Amino acid sequence: MNRGFTIIEALVAIFILTISVISMLSVTASSATSARYANNEITAKYLTEEAVDYIRNSRDTIAFQHKDDNGYGWNGFINKYEQSGTDCFSDNGCDINMEKFAPSSPFSNADLISCSSSGCDKLYFDKKALSVFFYSHNSIYGVKSIFSRTIKMKKINNDQIKVTVRVDWANGSLARTQSIVVYLLNWQK
């Protein structure tokens, strides 16, 4: 008497094996999506904090190292971000070109990029790290990323401003936003 598998037993075994493989592939795909999502969240957080740190550096350099002599000081700091063409106090906001960042000059806004009513341009990502900055506005070093950053400032009073930095990106078809709000003070008045 020959003992072997019947066709039904073989089909059941194949079905169980197929379900096992599909479930493992599903878990793997879900893990990859979650990892990409987490990476984008961390990058957005980094980009918001980077802009805040640069603005604080600018305030400290212009307003506090130079006090109020020769156009420097707190008003010099405000004027840098309020100059026409790149007005961070406007409804459209601005962004900082990190490669041209000049924290000590209240007279130059060459390191600021104006945004349009539809938002700021997407940042470029340097995959090979040929530049000092992984994310910048310089297309020479990389490819256009999924991230755009907008900085908006608002005067609360003569000695306080509100700075809102927002990073927008798309996770697949889902639009995502991360923002940080800080208040900067003229604390050496």
- What are 66-104's pLDDT values in tens digits? 666 566 788 888 888 888 667 899 999 999 887 777 666
Span 5-21, mean pLDDT? Answer: 84
Domain that holds residue 41: 7-185
* Lookup result for tokens 């999506």: 33
Tell me if 2 is assigned to some domain.
no
pLDDT score of 168 more than 90:
yes
Q: For residues 74 and 67, what is the distance between their CA atoms, to the nearest angstrom?
A: 7
Tell me if 79 is assigned to some domain.
yes
Tell me if 145 is assigned to some domain.
yes
Domain count, the chain: 1
Residue 170 CA to its chain's centroid (Å)? 12
Higher pLDDT, 11 or 132: 11
- Answer yes or no: are the C-beta atoms of 147 and 123 closer than 8 Å: yes
Q: Which helix (H) or strand (E) holds 150?
A: strand 143-157
Tell me if 11 is assigned to some domain.
yes
Tell me if 104 is assigned to some domain.
yes
Tell me if 1 is assigned to some domain.
no
Tell me if 113 is assigned to some domain.
yes
